[in-house]
Amino acid sequence: MIQPMTTTPIRLLIVDDHNLFRHGLIRILDDYAELQVVGQAANGQDALALVEELQPDLVLMDVNMPVMSGPDAVRQIQTRFPRLPVVMLTVSERDEDLFDAIRAGARGYLLKNVGAAELLDALQRVHAGEAILAPVMAARLLEEFRSLAAAPPREPAAAPSPELSERELDVLRLVAQGLSNKEIADALNLSEHTVKTHLANILAKLHLRSRAHAAAYAVQAGLVREVQSGR
């Protein structure tokens, strides 16, 4: 049984152009006291208006929708509400949709065959500051990272930003290895709050939008290979 991760319900906005799916999902999530569906929209454009009106804690959004797609809506949400996490919930397993959503700033990418309990757990984790990917999509993203790591370095080779402290570099290396905030905290003997603070500083200093972007940066900068070779 999933233990509640918050003392108050997560206020959720659901965005999907299929009415039956949207209403069915709302009925399912109504069984969980940890979530409160505060609104619904059929496309990204309507979602933007509702985000401003309702100020939800989290947005659950489809990828392919009329009027405005999910990734396009995520970009605008991140520009106007950069601290609002968005999780994509879709049938699409296309690499292009995954990478577009991550580049836009999505904090999660789940497939619609996910179970209700798994979905609840994923939403709670994202709300707590983690990034979540469906296993099959995570495998594809990691493969993309491996391809980047295997490619010959550019001239001049990418290098970590000199603005990052040694501790921030340690956090970034572990993010790139796929560790959660708790695992990073345990590895570095820090609190999870401190890890979140370091991660927020990393994203701000490197002008990145998400944890996935930070992981990609670390791969391109050679930090992952440095850790694997024992530094």
What does the alpha-carbon distance between residue 230 and residue 222 come to, in Å, rounded to a whole number? Answer: 13
Per-residue pLDDT of the chain (231 residues; tens, 9 = 90+): 444 444 699 999 999 999 999 999 999 999 999 999 999 999 999 999 999 999 999 999 999 999 999 999 999 998 899 889 999 999 988 888 888 888 888 988 999 999 999 999 999 999 988 888 887 776 666 665 555 555 554 444 444 454 788 888 889 888 887 788 888 999 999 888 888 888 888 887 877 777 777 877 777 776 654 333 333
Domains of the chain: 10-140 (3.40.50.2300), 152-228 (1.10.10.10)
User: What pLDDT sits at residue 141?
Assistant: 64
Torsion of CA 207, 213, 214, 216, to 10 degrees: -130
What does the alpha-carbon distance between residue 85 and residue 55 come to, in Å, rounded to a whole number? Answer: 12
Show Cβ contacts of residue 204 under 8 Å, excluding neighbours closer than 6 positions: none
Show Cβ contacts of residue 43 under 8 Å, excluding neighbours closer than 6 positions: 15, 17, 65, 66, 67, 68, 73
User: What pLDDT sits at residue 144?
Assistant: 59
User: What pLDDT sits at residue 224?
Assistant: 53
What does the alpha-carbon distance between residue 189 and residue 225 come to, in Å, rounded to a whole number? Answer: 23
